[in-house]
Structure 1
Amino acid sequence: MTVISIHARTSTGRVRDHNEDSYYAGDLVAAVADGMGGHAAGEVASNLALQPVIALEGVPYPDAESATKGLVNAVLEANELVLSHATDNPDQSGMGTTLTAVLMREGALHLAHVGDSRAYLFRDGTLTQLTTDHTLVNRLVQEGHLSEEEAKVHPHRSVITRAIGVDSNLDVDTLEPPLPMVPGDRFLLCSDGLSGPVSDEQIAAILANERIPERACRRLVDAANSNGGPDNITTIIIDVLNDGESPEPTLHLTDDEATAELADPQAIAAHVPKASHEPIDTAPPLVPPSAKPLERRHPPKRSFHPMIWVGLGLGMCLALVVTSVTVLNNQIYVSIDPQGNVAIYRGLKDQHVFGVPLFSVIETQTLKASSLSEPLRIRLAEGVSQTDEDAARAYINETLRESSDREENDQTSPEASPMQPSEPSAAAPLAPPASAQPPVATPNPNPSTS
């Protein structure tokens, strides 16, 4: 009988002021979601996305095919939930989240994946990434325009091409067939707050040397924070044990000593096998989709060393720019132009590649941003993503202009001018003649009885 042990840990990190990651670690279901959108919208999106997945806990499935289908349907339902919430709450338009979820049934692991959170398998000393990152940079690597080393420091590595809550037509990656689990396997689900600042070699070292899952989770989070903690960090470790087996104790070192050693690349190379990116036989590579790109509202503030580009030829520069512009051609957002007008843009807000802007104005509106409420001005300053130009115009006309009209009415209505004297009532007593003060309107403390 296969026994599953699941442990999780999350951290805000060193840079962000709040945590937009959400996770679930149940008995046979686990998932991590990395929200985006800012101003609490990201954490709302990630939390909403988990609800249909959590509902799978304890659901019986007659066969493997129905289990995978059930997991995929839960992800599609999560997508509809986030889309619906954004429609009902225009101030959170543009919210989205990644979602990587697993379901374990009869000794096999079923997986559904959207975005750039990851699932790994650590088996026999080898770390294998089971998911494909749905990012612009990963696509450029697959097309041969970037190397993996260049991708790790690319300034647009936080641009993802698929997410929950962005498009009603969502493709979901799965493992076909489901992955048979073997006693001794260790699975890791994580947000990119771990996989970004912490290398696969470091991850493999911690999974190999710390067999107590709670401490392994903590050391993974500590490693990400030690490397700058530029984003929220979430880790879920799933251990596959034999019936009656308990997790092995740590092999060596205390937490502090282990973290210090594992942060040293030479120490890692001395006793940890190189991580593998090749798919195992039972887990074929997942094919990335063709989808509209989405920019994170708060991209991770990771370090970027410009000298990495020294030596790149002009041909490489032009190829990268052309490819980036092509991929981003359908990204539409609403923001504020330099003159303070509401405008519709195409591309990535305020982003450049080698000095070439990745955005352009499609249409400038007569609507002034100064006429809007402060929450809407803040959202527009960040850029509000839309599916197409028609959706952008509808958002401006139905949400922004209505808000502007309400603001104008509030400013011109009598109730908005508390210093304006009230007209005396015909039945009101005259002021005493001895008073030299002008009449002042006094608010009724009990308006319901006036």
Structure 2
Amino acid sequence: MNAAGKTDVGRLRTNNEDAYAVHRREGLLMVADGMGGHEAGEVASQQAVELICRVVSNGGAPESNPRARLRKALGAANDEILRAAQQRGNNMGTTATVALILEDRLHVAQVGDSRAYLLRDGELTQLTEDHSVVQELVTAGLLSREGAEVHPHRNVLTRALGQTDDIEVDVATHVLQPEDLLLLCTDGLTTMLSDEEIRSTLATNTSLDETADALVKQANDRGGNDNITVVVANGFVSPPKPARRRFSFLPLLSLLGLSLVASAAYLVAANTFFLGPQGERVALYRGLPLAVGKHRLASVVATTPVRLDALGVPYGDRIRRGLLVESPAAGQALLNQLAMRPLAPEQT
């Protein structure tokens, strides 16, 4: 995955209450828009970014479910900001829009009115729904989208981190395609530019850094009424394809005697490898993930330190059933791609 981010104070503000994170290797992206004034909003947004990235990074086990990890992370940030606000005696809070990209799956968590967009085949789709008063009026059919853009309460939020003990987090999962372009942004961009203007800029700029710069510049040229933060990403890849099964012995089992099947299977099994379970860990086997009577047609070639429960779905289940690979090297390469590594927060 490729990604770039940019934040700007805008033309009217004197301090920047936005924050963002870009963790390219781990596929973790985030924007946050703080509120509460000087030495409050910027504290809340920065706390949210640091804590959410840390919790998501350390949540691979036992909570390997990415949606559960995101909810846990935003809940932890909500609690921390509430405690900090009580200690400081203010009412600080922040929005949070987080994207966790695992292979071809995009998991988006949302609180507030920062947004996630996806550009695919020249069409722009908003992936998140604003948690605001005007959005509720639009959803209820009481206000048009055009009216929402100029409504006097368009900046009044119905959800934000640090405002209530029990925060509700929206989480959605989307399937990515290799040519998709993802955008996360705060409302400093979307209050200055229309969706069509955003779409046009995303579609016409080839470099991610140039795209981020262009979006911020256009928002400033329109007045820059608020802090502006954007994160753009592309270069998504599909999950590795396991080796295709080349042999099926089920027809032979019904046509040949048990000894003949076992002999034929042995000849093929000598040059066939698969990944399978050995206790709670993954092992490389020579043979076939089959049994003839009480006799298994495979033997362990090597064990690995990779735990089955760290691989998640679908590969954990496939390996439990026996996942064919073309060679021992191919099996190790597949494990290297699937094994989850702990994430470390980066400086934003």
Asked if 1:117 is matched to 2:114, the reply is yes
- Structure 2 partner of 1:39: 38
Partner residue of 1:169 out of 149, 154, 166: 166
What is the deviation of 1:129? 0.3
Q: Which amino acid aligns with 1:231?
A: D
What is the deviation of 1:60? 7.2
- Structure 2 partner of 1:78: 77
Q: Which amino acid aligns with 1:115?
A: G
Helix, strand or coil: the match of 2:215?
Answer: helix
Partner residue of 2:217 out of 201, 222, 233: 222
Q: For 1:59 and 1:146, how far apart are their aligned partners in 2?
A: 42
Listed one character per residue, the Cα deviations across residues 13-38 of structure 1 (whole Å, up to 9, x for unaligned) are: 01111100011111211110000000
Helix, strand or coil: the match of 2:202?
Answer: helix
Q: For 2:28 and 2:159, how far apart are their aligned partners in 1?
A: 23
Distance 1:199 1:106, change over 3 A: same
Listed one character per residue, the Cα deviations across residues 201-226 of structure 1 (whole Å, up to 9, x for unaligned) are: 01000100002100000000011001
Helix, strand or coil: the match of 2:74?
Answer: helix
Asked if 1:212 is matched to 2:207, the reply is yes
Q: Which amino acid aligns with 1:196?
A: T
Q: Is the 8 A contact 1:48 1:82 kept in 2?
A: yes
Asked if 1:25 is matched to 2:8, the reply is no
What is the deviation of 1:106? 2.6
TM norm structure 1: 0.51
Q: Is the 8 A contact 1:49 1:99 kept in 2?
A: yes
Q: Is the 8 A contact 1:135 1:160 kept in 2?
A: yes
Q: Is the 8 A contact 2:17 2:41 kept in 1?
A: yes
Distance 1:241 1:110, change over 3 A: closer
Q: For 1:57 and 1:169, how far apart are their aligned partners in 2?
A: 19
Paired residues in the alignment total: 236
Helix, strand or coil: the match of 1:55?
Answer: helix
Q: Is the 8 A contact 1:8 1:235 kept in 2?
A: yes
Q: For 1:129 and 1:121, how far apart are their aligned partners in 2?
A: 7
Helix, strand or coil: the match of 2:235?
Answer: strand
- Structure 1 partner of 2:150: 153
Asked if 1:194 is matched to 2:189, the reply is yes
Q: Is the 8 A contact 2:22 2:29 kept in 1?
A: yes
Listed one character per residue, the Cα deviations across residues 308-337 of structure 1 (whole Å, up to 9, x for unaligned) are: xxxxxxxxxxxxxxxxxxxxxxxxxxxxxx
Q: Is the 8 A contact 1:181 1:240 kept in 2?
A: no
What is the deviation of 1:111? 1.1
Q: Is the 8 A contact 1:109 1:181 kept in 2?
A: yes
Q: For 1:121 and 1:61, how far apart are their aligned partners in 2?
A: 26
Asked if 1:103 is matched to 2:100, the reply is yes
Q: Which amino acid aligns with 2:123?
A: T
Choose 1 or 2 for highest CA Rg: 1
What is the deviation of 1:52? 2.2
Q: For 2:139 and 2:182, how far apart are their aligned partners in 1?
A: 25
Q: For 2:145 and 2:212, how far apart are their aligned partners in 1?
A: 26
- Structure 1 partner of 2:6: 9
Q: Which amino acid aligns with 1:24?
A: A
What is the deviation of 1:62? 7.3
Q: Is the 8 A contact 1:182 1:240 kept in 2?
A: no
Helix, strand or coil: the match of 1:214?
Answer: helix
Q: Is the 8 A contact 2:103 2:237 kept in 1?
A: no
Q: Which amino acid aligns with 1:85?
A: A
Q: Which amino acid aligns with 2:218?
A: A
Q: Is the 8 A contact 1:115 1:135 kept in 2?
A: yes
Q: Percent identity?
A: 43
Q: Note the 1:170-185 alignment, pairs <5 A.
A: 170-175=167-172, 178-185=173-180
Q: Which amino acid aligns with 1:133?
A: D
More strand by share: 2
Q: For 1:83 and 1:60, how far apart are their aligned partners in 2?
A: 22
What is the deviation of 1:241? 4.3
Q: Is the 8 A contact 2:59 2:69 kept in 1?
A: no
Q: Is the 8 A contact 1:29 1:56 kept in 2?
A: no
Stretches of 4+ moved more than 6 A in 1?
Answer: 62-65
What is the deviation of 1:59? 4.7
Listed one character per residue, the Cα deviations across residues 375-418 of structure 1 (whole Å, up to 9, x for unaligned) are: xxxxxxxxxxxxxxxxxxxxxxxxxxxxxxxxxxxxxxxxxxxx
- Structure 2 partner of 1:432: none
Listed one character per residue, the Cα deviations across residues 124-144 of structure 1 (whole Å, up to 9, x for unaligned) are: 111000000011011111122
Listed one character per residue, the Cα deviations across residues 215-267 of structure 1 (whole Å, up to 9, x for unaligned) are: 00000001100111000000000113459xxxxxxxxxxxxxxxxxxxxxxxx
Q: Is the 8 A contact 2:119 2:181 kept in 1?
A: yes
**Which protein has greater RCO, CA pairs closer than 8 Å, 6+ apart?**
2
Q: Which amino acid aligns with 1:219?
A: A
Q: Is the 8 A contact 1:96 1:165 kept in 2?
A: yes
Quote the RMSD (CA, aligned, Å).
1.8
What is the deviation of 1:96? 0.6
Q: Is the 8 A contact 2:182 2:234 kept in 1?
A: yes
Gaps of 5+ in 1: 244-450
Q: For 2:99 and 2:175, how far apart are their aligned partners in 1?
A: 13
Distance 1:29 1:193, change over 3 A: same
- Structure 1 partner of 2:123: 126
Listed one character per residue, the Cα deviations across residues 328-360 of structure 1 (whole Å, up to 9, x for unaligned) are: xxxxxxxxxxxxxxxxxxxxxxxxxxxxxxxxx
Q: For 2:62 and 2:81, how far apart are their aligned partners in 1?
A: 29
